[in-house]
Chains A and B, each alone.
Chain A
């Protein structure tokens, strides 16, 4: 059997058109009523009388309900609920977009700078500018597999010679280092190579990938990339430089002739 208070509070809530608020309204009114009953019991009133007095003190249910309805406006309540839902959806969408981002970046988004460890071989050539640290190491030449873009097409006797390039910046975030790569000037044994003789133009994903981390403009970049030279024969010395940089990186192959 429903208590008199339950009948009263139901009558209050019936007047409030915005149903999602019914629960909190009932919670608050019930807490008030129960505390009043406890106070009257402490004063020695019999329970039945205490409940009757406490309920009477709450006032007219319809009057209270109508007054609450004027505050808990349905259009405002639903607008609030919808905006909360939209914010939640937006947050989920944002999280999904971040998750969808470059897989190499994604796995590092929670890492600190110190955790972005890598191992640059001691033999790698090193150059530093005000905002960049670069290292270059030589890779093992292999027969040309013909998978890289080149014009004109090379003959089958050519070699593909990998160069491993590490780029590091701190406190400055670079979300795209293609501009750096595309303006690199590379010479193999003193002979300048045109861009078509090495890859890294952004159209061919390079296996070693990017290690990038940081918010929009302030952050960190650690990028390890591979540049593949297409040469007629094994090189002895390759130099990499940039027209706007006063640095030169050198990679050497011992015993090559």
Chain B
């Protein structure tokens, strides 16, 4: 995963983001069903190209979510006539998304608290 800001690129520790990829993918799917490439482009667009995931790594995440019942998959023809696998969040996936969001907020607050207190010391 890369972070790009202000025209310069900064590589960030993958482990920092690995815990949040599920949250990102489920958030993308909470609005509509999508196929893989669409998710990558949408993620880049919504993050102003800050999040630039290695594209092949999306599929193990998606297949894992499917195996856990958090997303369902179906094949359908796109407008260009290509058959694609579309992913859709399930009810269980929405519950997991809510839980992940709460975790994320709590985590962010605690990280901010520690970082800010350190900078004040």
Say which one of A59-67, A147-155, A163-171, A209-217 lies at the interface with B: A59-67
Chain A 215-248 residues near chain B, CB threshold 8 A = none
Say which one of B56-64, B94-102, B110-118 lies at the interface with A: B56-64
Q: Is the CB of A70 closer than 8 A to any CB of chain B?
A: yes
Question: Which chain B residues lie closer than 8 Å to A64 at the CB level?
Answer: 54, 56-57, 59-60
Number of B interface residues at 8 Å Cβ cutoff, please give it.
17
Question: Which chain A residues lie closer than 8 Å to B59 at the CB level?
Answer: 25, 28-29, 32, 64, 68
Question: Which chain B residues lie closer than 8 Å to A28 at the CB level?
Answer: 36, 59, 85
Question: Which chain A residues lie closer than 8 Å to B35 at the CB level?
Answer: 31
Question: Which chain A residues lie closer than 8 Å to B60 at the CB level?
Answer: 64, 67-68, 70-71
The docked-state distance in angstroms from the alpha carbon of A59 to that of B14 is: 13
The docked-state distance in angstroms from the alpha carbon of A32 to that of B34 is: 12
The docked-state distance in angstroms from the alpha carbon of A36 to that of B38 is: 10
Question: Does the CB pair A32–B36 fall under 8 Å?
Answer: yes
The docked-state distance in angstroms from the alpha carbon of A255 to that of B37 is: 91
The docked-state distance in angstroms from the alpha carbon of A72 to that of B41 is: 26
Main secondary structure of the interface of A (DSSP, over half): helix
The docked-state distance in angstroms from the alpha carbon of A31 to that of B36 is: 9
Number of A interface residues at 8 Å Cβ cutoff, please give it.
23
Question: Does the CB pair B55–A12 fall under 8 Å?
Answer: no
Chain B 34-68 residues near chain A, CB threshold 8 A = 35-37, 40-41, 54-57, 59-60, 63-64, 67
The docked-state distance in angstroms from the alpha carbon of A12 to that of B56 is: 9
The docked-state distance in angstroms from the alpha carbon of A247 to that of B35 is: 71
Which are the 7 A-B pairs with shortest beta-carbon distances? A59-B54, A67-B60, A64-B56, A58-B56, A59-B56, A71-B63, A35-B37
Interface residues of B (CB under 8 A from A): 35-37, 40-41, 54-57, 59-60, 63-64, 67, 82, 84-85
Given A68-B60, A71-B67, 8 more pairs with CB closer than 8 A:
A31-B37, A32-B36, A35-B37, A58-B54, A58-B55, A60-B56, A67-B57, A70-B60
Q: Can you give 13 contacting A-B residue pairs, CB < 8 Å?
A: A12-B56, A31-B82, A31-B85, A32-B55, A36-B37, A36-B55, A57-B54, A57-B55, A63-B56, A64-B60, A67-B60, A70-B64, A72-B63
